[in-house]
Amino acid sequence: MGRAPYIGIGLTVWLTGCGLLLDARGDADGGVPEIDAADTVPDAFGVEDASLDTSIDASLDGGLDAGLDAGWVPGPYERLTELDVSAPAEATNPADTRGGLAPAGVMTITATFTNISDRTFVDLYFEVVTLTGWNLLLNADGAPGGVGSRLTPPISVLGADGLFTPGETISQTFEIGLQSTTPFVFEIDVLARPLP
């Protein structure tokens, strides 16, 4: 899948199959920008909390709880690469400073992600890989943060079953607290645990 640029507020928003990249790099015809070895993302993530909330009332072949009772054990977290990512919608509100956390305003980015693999996943979350310019992901889990911050979508985003199934599409909004109006890079990975 090629990248499609969306221009807004002096930034180019690039979409990749495994992440969202806001970047001032790239060529005018929407080509893929060159990426240095320093920009690469490691394939292994040391995720310590590999627990699954089995209280989810799911209904996939008898429900997630029934599947766990039958011996389903989700695998370790992995970076999802078989995703179709929409061109994001972006808006900036310079008046919203979030109590000083965003002196130059808040940029809201909404993108949709479609599972184009043949596998089902649980415990999906987004992890910030790059966020330059001292900007913050305001709606990160727990508190605003930068690189390493996580954003877990509400279970309702994944439907009543809490699963990210083949062909399923979810929408996620990212709220970036801007520290200045200079161009910056925002890149995320999507991680989840596969079901057998």
Q: Is residue 36 a contact partner of residue 25, using CB atoms and an 8 Å limit?
A: no
Q: What residue numbers bound the domain in which 129 lies?
A: 6-29+56-194
The HSE-up count of residue 162 (CA atoms within 13 Å, CB side) is 18
Pick out the chain residues at pLDDT < 50.
1-20, 22-63, 66-67, 69-70
- 114 in a structural domain: yes
Q: What is the pLDDT of residue 87?
A: 84
DSSP helix/strand/coil, 113 = strand
Q: What is the pLDDT of residue 75?
A: 83
Q: What CATH number has the domain bearing residue 65?
A: 2.60.40.290
Q: What is the pLDDT of residue 129?
A: 95
- 107 in a structural domain: yes
Q: What is the pLDDT of residue 165?
A: 94
Provide the domain count of the chain.
1
Question: From CA 96, how far away is CA 102, in angstroms rounded?
Answer: 7
Q: What is the pLDDT of residue 155?
A: 83
Q: What is the pLDDT of residue 31?
A: 39
Q: What is the pLDDT of residue 71?
A: 58
